[in-house]
Amino acid sequence: MTQHADPRLSRRIVVMTAGNPCYNPRPVKEADALGRAGYDVTLLTMAAAGGVTEADRDLTQGAPYRHECVVWGRTAASSLLCRSQVWLARKAARAGFETRHSLGVIGPLERRAFELAADLFIVHTEIPFWIGTRLMRAGRRVAADFEDWHSEDLLPQDRRNRPLGLLQAIEKTLVNDAVYTSTTSVSLSNALSRRYAGPLPLTIANAFPLQAQPRAASRGPVPSILWFSQTVGPGRGLEAFVAGWALVGRPSRLVLLGTVSDRTRADLMRLVPENLRERVSFVPAVPPTQLPSFIAQHDIGLALEDPSIPNRDLTITNKILQYMNAGLAIIASDTAGQREALSFAPGAGVVCDTKVAPRLAAEIEPLLGDPSRIDAMGRASRLAAERKYCWERQAPLLLEKVSAVLAKPAQ
């Protein structure tokens, strides 16, 4: 009997992002799922000279895809030239003159993308988004993943040098003309479709594979509350939460995980009465592979997204989904995305006014004094991860869409 090779083995897919794999897990999960499904996958990333980390190498070693990192700025002169070009372009963008260079260093990644022969390019983040529009113009098949709504992100003071008109033009092109688009929540999918009068992006939650060891009940004598990110800094909702937490009469511990400056640490600690300061811990960032087990050592996870920023309001970040995966109770700020996530996890979390300190204190005090309720919320949280918000449930949505796209003749 003649055996036919799996046609996916001859299908080449390039997953492109401008970030380090260890800090950019969504394209890594995507490349991994596609590689395990039998596609010939390249994860194409970019970094400045010396920017590839040991964590990147550990994460991608032995993976079912190739990882190729385009390195720019190998010499001091070329690095200075690239950085100067971006700096000048961002100054020009502030004055109303927008060019692609205001997005960052583009040339090396763009050149390599055009060199690769692929049946499908899947682009993530701003620079690959722009490259994706160029690939489309050249007749290449391109899909785009909107993990973030880039033109509607960041605080006002951080948007001054942003090429917002250019970003909106890129987003409109991708939403309407890419072979498909995807995003993290129904809320963000609806918003992108309305803004750009295009088809609804596919919703693929930013979930992770189910971890084997979720939180154990009754972890310690007082509840441990965790917030994590790469950086502990301003504009993350921490100042208002810490001020409210300091007013709560019932004891708890507050753990902030991430790189923190001395100034930010001091600013946050000034909000805490001296007798409570020993209950606040700052923990350095841990490697991605260690993060799930670290989260599971705590009782309550903080998801403090800012509803005044459309992107943060509409998306469902990986933070709240990692809390669910680990079986933590959740305290969430009131955003459309987080309400959407918690609607699939009845009893797993409380949505609070995290900006008004006395109101926040009144809302969380009963929870902190009720260990059995915390345990019940944690069980509901883990159940939601098992039923919906894990990568095992989300990856098939990606594979089905990619299979359907590649089954059609390229135009």
Which tokens is 25 given? 């897990």
Q: Say if residue 7's pLDDT is above 80.
A: no
Instruction: Verify that 31 and 138 share a domain, yes or no.
Output: yes
Give me the pLDDT at residue 6, please.
61
Instruction: Verify that 187 and 233 share a domain, yes or no.
Output: no
Tell me if 330 sits within 8 A of 303, measured CB to CB.
Answer: yes
**Domain annotation covers residue 212:** no
What's the start-to-end Cα distance of the chain, in Å?
Answer: 35
Instruction: Verify that 121 and 257 share a domain, yes or no.
Output: no
**Domain annotation covers residue 217:** no
For residue range 380-396, list pLDDT tens digits in order.
999 999 999 999 999 99
pLDDT band at 2 (very low <50, low <70, confident <90, very high): very low
**Domain annotation covers residue 219:** no
Alpha helices in 61-159 (DSSP H): 76-94, 107-115, 126-137
Give me the pLDDT at residue 214, please.
87
Cα distance between residue 395 and residue 402, in whole Å:
11
Give me the pLDDT at residue 5, please.
46
**Domain annotation covers residue 116:** yes
Tell me if 225 sits within 8 A of 331, measured CB to CB.
Answer: yes
For residue range 221-264, list pLDDT tens digits in order.
899 999 999 899 887 889 999 999 999 999 999 999 999 999 99
**Domain annotation covers residue 37:** yes
Q: Starting at the earlier edge strand, list the strands of the sheet with 40-48.
A: 66-72, 40-48, 12-16, 120-124, 142-146, 180-183, 202-203
Instruction: Verify that 284 and 329 share a domain, yes or no.
Output: yes
Instruction: Verify that 400 and 325 share a domain, yes or no.
Output: no
Q: How far is CA 52 from CA 19, 145, 258, in A?
A: 10, 23, 19
Instruction: Verify that 375 and 273 share a domain, yes or no.
Output: yes
For residue range 170-214, list pLDDT tens digits in order.
999 999 999 999 999 999 999 999 999 999 999 999 999 999 888
For residue range 256-291, list pLDDT tens digits in order.
999 999 999 999 999 999 999 999 999 999 988 899
312: domain range? Answer: 224-387
- Counting Cα atoms < 13 Å in the Cβ hemisphere of 278 gives 2
Instruction: Verify that 375 and 400 share a domain, yes or no.
Output: no
Q: Sign of dihedral through CA atoms 11, 17, 20, 25?
A: negative
Name the more confident of 59 and 13. Answer: 13
Q: Starting at the earlier edge strand, list the strands of the sheet with 300-303.
A: 280-283, 253-260, 224-232, 300-303, 329-333, 349-352
Q: Domain total for the chain?
A: 2
Q: Say if residue 326's pLDDT is above 90.
A: yes
Instruction: Verify that 347 and 400 share a domain, yes or no.
Output: no
Give me the pLDDT at residue 53, please.
84
Q: Say if residue 4's pLDDT is above 60.
A: no
DSSP state of 69: E
Q: Say if residue 43's pLDDT is above 60.
A: yes
Model's pTM, two decimal places? 0.92
Residue with the two structure tokens 């596919």: 202
Instruction: Verify that 52 and 141 share a domain, yes or no.
Output: yes
Q: What CATH number is given to the structural domain containing 169? A: 3.40.50.2000
**Domain annotation covers residue 323:** yes
**Domain annotation covers residue 51:** yes
Instruction: Verify that 88 and 133 share a domain, yes or no.
Output: yes
Cα distance between residue 391 and residue 383, in whole Å:
14
Residues 58-87: b if buried by 16+ CB within 10 A, e if exposed: ebbeebebebebbebbeeeeebeebeebbe
Instruction: Verify that 124 and 139 share a domain, yes or no.
Output: yes
Cα distance between residue 388 and residue 382, in whole Å:
10
The DSSP bridge pattern shows strands 180-183 and 202-203 to be: parallel
Cα distance between residue 18 and residue 13, in whole Å:
16
Instruction: Verify that 356 and 400 share a domain, yes or no.
Output: no
**Domain annotation covers residue 403:** yes
